[in-house]
């Protein structure tokens, strides 16, 4: 079996197509003319579809493209909504915690109604609503502004901010440390009643 060059393969495919169509043409090669198949004439009848010729395999390697150098991955964009909480643990004696939400891409006058939901260490959740205006921070105070929320107790609190009636925007946590609040100590001069 002779292996054809890419050009020879193309000529062979073209010749096969002509033969299948019932026409042969004389081909001249570098070493002289070669005999061709006789021309076949057919009556003018509808022709069947010409079969697709099978590709001829060659040993010519297929050129491959040099891969482009990797494109550096851009840094993710800064979060649009940012939850703000205390920078560290809050002593239980502080009695309150300020929580905030900022829309970094907020435009002047743009208002978004939001809900802050705080899950206390025991799993109970408390919420309050506020409005974020432009790119200004909206601040709420836990437990004061939250319906039915008890005094601070030690543990981790989870905060989720969401568009009122919509999807989550941002989240944070804060830690309250120290012994749980108890009854106030007796004042001087007060004895224990018997």
Q: Which of 106, 86, 103, 104 is nearest to 95 (CA)?
A: 86
Positions of E strands within 34-188 = 81-84, 90-91, 97-103, 111-119, 125-133, 138-142, 155-163, 168-177
pLDDT for res 29: 44
pLDDT in tens, 18-27: 445 554 444 4
User: Structure tokens of 85?
Assistant: 């909480």
pLDDT in tens, 118-127: 999 999 999 9
User: Structure tokens of 39?
Assistant: 């021309």
pLDDT for res 79: 73
Q: Under a CB-based contact definition with an 8 Å cutoff, are residues 86 and 69 in contact? A: no
Distance, CA of 98 to CA of 162 (rounded, Å): 17
pLDDT for res 179: 79
Distance, CA of 180 to CA of 151 (rounded, Å): 9
Distance, CA of 22 to CA of 43 (rounded, Å): 11
Backbone angles phi, psi at 87, to 5 degrees: -75, -15
Q: Return all residues near 111 (Cβ < 8 A) that are at least 6 apart.
A: 131, 132, 133
pLDDT at 107 over 50: yes
pLDDT at 111 over 90: yes
Q: Which residues pair with 44 in a beta bridge?
A: none
Distance, CA of 113 to CA of 130 (rounded, Å): 6
Is 0.95 surpassed by the pTM of this model?
A: no
pLDDT for res 168: 94
pLDDT in tens, 165-174: 899 999 999 9
Q: Which residues pair with 176 in a beta bridge?
A: 90, 155
Q: How confident is the model at residue 146 (pLDDT cuts 50, 70, 90)?
A: very high
pLDDT for res 24: 46
Q: How many helices (H) and strands (E) does the chain have?
A: 1, 10
Q: Which H helix or E strand runs over 157?
A: strand 155-163
pLDDT in tens, 37-63: 455 455 555 556 666 666 666 676 666
Q: Return all residues near 44 (Cβ < 8 A) that are at least 6 apart.
A: none
Residue 4, exposed/middle/buried by CB under 10 A (0-12, 13-18, 19+)? Answer: middle
Burial call 19-30: b when 16+ CB within 10 Å, e when fewer: eeeeeeeeeeee
pLDDT for res 48: 60
């Amino acid at each position: 079996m002779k292996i054809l060059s890419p050009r020879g393969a193309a000529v062979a495919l073209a010749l096969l197509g002509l033969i299948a169509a019932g026409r042969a043409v004389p081909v001249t090669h570098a070493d002289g003319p070669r005999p061709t198949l006789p021309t076949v004439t057919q009556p003018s009848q509808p022709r069947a579809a010409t079969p697709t010729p099978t590709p001829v395999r060659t040993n010519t390697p297929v050129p491959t493209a040099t891969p482009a150098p990797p494109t550096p991955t851009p840094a993710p964009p800064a979060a649009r909504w940012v939850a703000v909480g205390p920078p560290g643990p809050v002593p239980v004696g502080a009695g309150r915690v300020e929580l905030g939400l900022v829309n970094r891409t907020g435009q002047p006058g743009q208002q978004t109604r939001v809900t802050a939901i705080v899950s206390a260490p025991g799993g109970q959740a408390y919420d309050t609503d506020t409005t974020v205006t432009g790119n200004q921070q909206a601040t709420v105070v836990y437990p004061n502004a939250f319906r039915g929320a008890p005094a601070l107790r030690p543990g981790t609190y989870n905060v989720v901010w969401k568009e009122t009636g919509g999807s989550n925007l941002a989240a944070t946590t804060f830690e309250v440390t120290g012994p749980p609040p108890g009854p106030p100590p007796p004042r001087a001069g007060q004895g224990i009643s018997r």
